[in-house]
Structure 1
Amino acid sequence: MPKLLVLALGMILSAAGLLAGDLTITSQVTGKGALAKDGSQVQYLSATRMRVNHAGSKTDSLVDYGQEVIYSIDHGKKVTTKFTFKDMQETMQALEDQMAGMPEMVTKMMFGDVSEVKVEQLGPDTVMGRPCKKVRITLGKMVEDLSVDPSLQFPIKDYAKSMAMLNRAPGPMGALFKRVYQETAKLKGVPLRTRITGLMGMDVTTEATAIASTPIPDSIWALPAGYALKDGGKEMKESLKGKR
């Protein structure tokens, strides 16, 4: 489960956009906490698929929205793990049922009050020489600062809704993710710099170093040859059965 939550947080930097052409964003990730895998990151986005390659952690994530499936690719172990949206949603629901009895005081200590969100416009900023608008979103203990380039658009239609469905998490974490997606969906443009602080000791900055709007080659969407393929959904369900 931690890998799924890390993946969800990793993708939280993206915002909803109107339908546009393919987009490739190369970034540098630095910081501490769950996402502190210092190194380069490349995010490939089309209208129906997304892939994020993390050089620091030697793992990639490939999402096919049309097939409703996500692949987690571990280059160190040479293993590709498959999760269907359906399996992930069912697993999250089972976890939520297990967490139903958690005292509210405990959840607030971990995540803060996720029922209220604060959005602040912090003025102009510049990333890679491109004019941006700086926005701060505060939700519970998490603070997300985004420098958004309004001249760019993400190609995935209704990106925030897809992300909320894909990255559903149990309990307060799920509520936090859902609210963040709702707020980022209102932003017009693409974040070129994102800093996330305050959540589980995190202080992670992702800053774009290169942007391309050329068509993404089909080879980018291919799974690596010779890697073992695991059914992650089945493993998660079996793990939950063992905890009952």
Structure 2
Amino acid sequence: MRRLTLVALSAILAGFSLLGGDLTITSHVTGKGRFAKEGTQVQYVDATRMRMNQEGARTDTLVDYGHEVFYTIDHTKKVVTKVTFKDMQEAMQAMEDQMAAMPEMVTRMMFGDTTEVKVEQLGADSVLGRPCRKVRVSIGKMVEELSLDPSLQFPIRDYAKAMSMMNRMPGGMGAMFKRLYQAIGQLKGVPLRTHVTGLMGMDMTTEATAVSTAPIPGSVWALPAGYKEVDGGKEMKESMKGRH
């Protein structure tokens, strides 16, 4: 489950927008906290797929929105874990049912007040010499500052549906991220720099070092040969049965 949470958070921090041509963003990640894996990150996006290669974690994420499935590629263990959106939704619903009795006080202590998202315009900025506008998005204890390039757009279609299907999480964290997706989905442009603080000790910066709008080679979407493939959906269901 920790691996799947990392997948979800990686997609969130990418700050998806709407509709555009193929896009490749190479970034450098620095910071501290559970999710901060320092190193080079490369994000590939076309109209129906997204791939995130993370050098620091030695883990890639390949998401096929058209077929509603995503893969986690662990290069250390040479394992590919496949999970359908449907399996993820069912597992998250089961977890939400189990967590329904959690006192609101506990949720507030962990995540703060997640009932409202605050969006602040911070003015002009520049990344790689590209004019950007800086925005701060706050919800509960999480604060995310984004430097958005309005001349770029991600090609993902139906942002809200795709993100809610893939990144659903239980309890207070799920409520927080759902509202965060909605706020980020309304912003125009692609974030070339993000700085996230406040979530479980996180203080992480992701800054673009190169941007390309050239067509993405078909080989990028291929799964590595010789890796063991695991049914992550089946594993999640079996894990949930053991909790009853």
1:33 maps onto 2:50 in alignment: no
Partner of 1:173 in structure 2? 173
What is the CA distance between 1:16 and its match in structure 2? Answer: 4.2
Q: d(CA) in 2 for partners of 1:56 and 1:17?
A: 25
Identify the residue that residue 141 of structure 2 maps to in structure 1: 141
Output the amino acid matched with 1:47.
Answer: A
String of CA shifts for 1:105-155, please: whole Å, max 9, x gaps: 001000011101111000111111111100000100000000000010111
Write the mapping of 1:219-238 to structure 2, written as runs, cut at 5 A.
Answer: 219-238=219-238
Q: CA deviation at 1:205?
A: 0.6
Aligned positions of 1:85-124 closer than 5 A: 85-124=85-124
For 1:223, give the aligned amino acid. L
The 3 A distance-change label for structure 1 pair 38 and 134 is: same
Instruction: Give the AA of the match of 1:94.
Output: A
Aligned to 1:57: 57
Query: How far does the alpha carbon of each residue in 1:193-234 deviate from its partner, in whole angstroms, 9 at most, with x for none?
Result: 001100111111110000000000110000000000000000
For the Cα contact (< 8 Å) 2:7–2:72, is it kept in 1?
no
Farther off after superposition, 155-164 or 201-210: 155-164
Deviation (angstroms), 1:2: 1.4
The answer (yes or no) to whether the contact 1:50–1:64 under 8 Å persists in 2 is yes
Deviation at residue 176 of structure 1 after TM alignment: 1.0
Q: SS where residue 184 of structure 1 aligns?
A: helix
Q: What CA distance in whole angstroms lies between the structure 1 residues aligned with 2:151 and 2:11?
A: 21
Map 1:204-219; keep pairs closer than 5 Å. Answer: 204-219=204-219
Task: Return the alpha-carbon distance in structure 2 between the equivalents of residues 11 and 170 of structure 1.
Answer: 17
Q: Where does residue 186 of structure 2 map in the other structure?
A: 186
Counterpart code for 2:122: L
CA distance in 2, matches of 1:46, 1:33: 30
Give the TM-score taking structure 2 as reference length: 0.98
Give me the whole-angstrom Cα distance separating, in 2, the residues matched to 1:66 and 1:165. 12
Paired residue secondary structure (1:188): coil
- Structure 1 length normalisation: TM-score? 0.98
**CA apart distance, 1:158:** 2.1
Q: Which runs of 5+ in 1 are unaligned?
A: none
Q: Which deviates more from structure 2 when the two are superposed, residues 15-24 or residues 223-232?
A: 15-24
Partner residue of 2:21? 21
- RMSD of aligned alpha carbons: 0.9
Distance 1:121 1:19 in 2: 23
Which consecutive residues of structure 2, in runs of 5 or more, have no partner in the other structure? none
